[in-house]
Amino acid sequence: KKAADLAAAFEPATTRDGHNVEVVANIGGIEDARKGMTLGAEGVGLLRSEFLYLDRSTAPTEDEQTQIYSDISAALNGHPLIIRTLDVGGDKPLAYLPMPREENPMLGIRGVRIGLDRPEILRTQVRAILRAGKTGKIRMMFPMIATLDEIRSVKGLVEEERAKLPDAGDVELGIMVEVPAAAVLARQFAREVSFFSIGTNDLTQYGLAMDRGHPKLGAKADAMNPAILRLIALTVEGADAEGKWVGVCGGMASDPQAVPILVGLGVKELSVSVPAIPAIKAAVRARAFAECQTLAQQALAQGTAAEVRALVQSDD
Ligand code: PEP
Ligand code: MG
């Protein structure tokens, strides 16, 4: 039984009727990448690059970053690595990047807005990712995109850096869909990038207007709320219409109850916390895709997250 479990860990996650879903890891550094590979991850769907920037007095250099991204990529044995550019904000200031205090840091200069406001740090990171892309299968992803102007500006910045580099790799660009506006306008965004990854933590926070870290609201901010499921459905619809793929890298992807719904809504990649990899693969294998599609449609018609969860359980 143990040997069979171990063998299954490295098999792809396929529904009973043969529909394949990529299960990849959310990581914060190379140790997580190595651990993820031992648990059957098929790559990395979210490298939170913040770890390179926090707790130090100067920004990481281009060479330093190129090395780290290449090392992580090498640890994945040819599997893809999605690097999310720096995602900090007024609530998490960096010593070498003083930011004015903000009344509403969650609605302020955070995510890609920092990169556009203070482009030097983003330019350095973009160059490092493009160079590392020469050594492995690397994709670049931007956090907190809310408007088309933002993604167009950031693409312009990437193209300027690419043009200056003699050794840039073929790196696809994607965005996190974690602001409701990006979900609603998914089709327009899909024309700009190669892929989407839904950040359900922030999408839920902004969709329900509930602070994800609030002691009284955090638990109510459940991504299984049908309002959030509808935003996810809209995202997939927009991407499909332009032939692009959608993953989910928020905490929802690590919730086995959410898996059949996400798969049924057409999500192709689940990027999950390292320890959750085996359970999420098992959840994909437990059902048929056709069943997941029916369940997803029923979930969209519910009124509350609790009703959606009851529906999934009764269908088990
Ligand atoms: C998210 O918002 O769902 C996400 C994956 O990003 P983070 O949790 O790092 O904000
Ligand atoms: Mg987020």
Ligand 1 lined by 48 (C-beta under 6 Å) = yes
Q: Whose CA is nearest to atom 4 of ligand 1?
A: 199
What number does the ligand 1 atom closest to the CA of 252 have?
3
Cβ contact 136:81 at 8 Å: yes
Buried b / exposed e over 5-43, threshold 16 CB at 10 Å, is eeeeeeeebebeeebebbbbbbbeebebbeebbebbbbb
**Which of 176, 204, 235, 269 most suits a substitution to test ligand 1, by most atoms within 8 Å of the C-beta?**
176
The secondary element (H helix, E strand) that includes residue 45 is strand 44-48
- The tens place of each residue's pLDDT in the chain, 316 residues long, gives 677 777 778 999 999 999 999 999 999 999 999 999 999 999 999 999 999 999 899 999 999 999 999 999 999 999 999 999 999 986 777 888 888 889 999 999 999 999 999 999 999 999 999 999 999 999 999 999 999 999 999 999 999 999 999 989 999 999 999 999 999 999 999 999 999 999 999 999 999 999 998 999 988 999 999 999 999 999 999 999 999 999 999 999 999 999 999 999 999 999 999 999 999 999 999 999 999 999 999 999 999 999 999 999 998 7
42 lines ligand 1 (CB under 6 A): no
Counting DSSP H helices and E strands in the chain, the numbers are 14, 9
Compute, in angstroms, the gap from residue 245 CA to the centroid of ligand 2.
19
Contact 261, 289 (CB under 8 A): no
- Enter the DSSP assignment of 60: P
User: Which is nearest to 142 in space by CA: 187, 181, 96, 197?
Assistant: 197
pLDDT at 90: 64
ipTM rounded to 2 decimals: 0.99
216 C-alpha to center of ligand 1: Å? 20
117, β-bridge pairs: none
The CA 144 to ligand 2 mean position distance, Å, reads: 7
178 lines ligand 1 (CB under 6 A): yes
| 143 CA closest ligand 1 atom index | 6
Six-digit token string for 115: 């990169």
Question: In 3D, which of 70, 20, 13, 14 has the Cα closest to residue 47?
Answer: 70
Pocket flag, ligand 1, residue 250 (CB < 6 Å): yes
Q: Give burial (CB, 10 Å; 0-12/13-18/19+) of 138.
A: buried
Nearest CA owner, ligand 1 atom 1: 199
Check residue 89 and give its pLDDT: 84
Report the nearest atom of ligand 1 relative to the CA of 250.
Answer: 3
For ligand 1, say whether the CB of 254 is within 6 Å of any of its atoms.
no
CB atoms within 10 A of CB 131: 24
